[in-house]
Amino acid sequence: MEGKPLIVIGGPTGVGKTDLSLRLAEKVGGEIVSADSMAVYKFMDVGTAKPSPAERAKVKHYLIDVVEPTETFSIKRFIDEADAAVKEIWRRGKVPIVVGGTYMYLHPFLYGLADTPPGDWKVREELYRLAEERGKDHLWRTLLEVDPAYAAKIHKNDLRRIVRALEVYRLTGRPYSSFHTNWENAKPRYPYLGVFLVRPWESQYRRIRNRVWDMIRSGLLGEILNLLKMGFREAITSPQAIDYKEFLPYFEGKKSLVECVEEAVRRTKEQAKRQLRWFKRYKDWLKVDLDEVPPERAVDLIIREYERRFSDRKAPSLGP
């Protein structure tokens, strides 16, 4: 069964994806599939900027609060669950709207997983042991030497992805990124309209800074303390847990709150720059500058472009 083509909304952290996607979903009769690597975790609400309960009551969301903070949520699992969500949205006669800034989820969902070899636990355990003996930096430097293209896409503390890339290199003699060359030119798994949300960098930077302080006012410190009490320290120190791990020194008495906020702002800016690089690769996506185009007009632009691109389909028109 196939329903209406998807709308995929991407862009950097803090650009305004949530607000625009909610407006769009309400106008076209859509439901939202979250493509955020942290929103899948329960008990992590403020620091992941999840849509509020009221917003989720207005528009049905999928792939939010799926697993415990200690669980691993793989790309394969994301694809499987996102596929199931799209089918359910189609069954309900709605428009699937996929929203997020996690390129590592979005691209494989749209174009399929790269044809990399299966994991080899012997090689993997050896690499993890090497990380323990010589430090994560040693593996990171090795990855920079053998596969600088992939190293540029991930955080230097993301040990899981570093190990996977080096594992593939040891097994095949090829850089992990080389498997993605044809993958990135693949045909999409779904018909979709991509929307790339942007703002001028100075505006984006201000929004990031305000976003972190808004999280503090909304109870981020209490949320972190609760996660620590529940035994989820490892979850909030993972590389992707930006806006969590930066505040641990505050609880340990090593840094002031302002210093921790500045570190969170710095890391979020770095993440936003990586996201911008990722999404710029999609040349056929509709680019919308939210500083130039008000949200209501942006929604209308998206609807017009959607109907223009899919005018040859049986049911291109958007609406409840």
User: What is the strand order of the sheet 95-99 is part of?
Assistant: 61-62, 30-34, 95-99, 6-10, 192-198, 286-289
- The architecture that CATH gives domain 6-112+186-309 is 3-Layer(aba) Sandwich (3.40)
Q: Is the pTM of this model over 0.85?
A: no
Q: Tokens at residue 195, please?
A: 């929307």
Residue 315, pLDDT above cutoff 70: no
Three-state secondary-structure class, residue 169:
helix
Rounded CA separation 246/219 (Å): 15
Domain 121-182: state its class.
Answer: mainly alpha
Dihedral (Cα; 15, 316, 113, 179), 10-degree rounding:
-80
Domain parsing of the chain, residue ranges: 6-112+186-309, 121-182
Distance, in Å, from the CA atom of 26 to the CA atom of 35, rounded to the nearest integer, reads: 19
- DSSP letter at 193 equals E
Task: For residue range 236-277, list pLDDT tens digits in order.
Answer: 877 678 889 999 999 999 999 999 999 999 999 999 999 999
List residues bridging with 195 in a β-sheet: 9, 286
Burial of residue 65 (number of CB atoms within 10 Å: 0-12, 13-18, 19+):
middle
Per-residue pLDDT tens for 144-178? 999 999 998 888 888 888 999 999 999 889 999 88
pLDDT for the residue numbered 157: 85
Residue 320: the pLDDT is 46
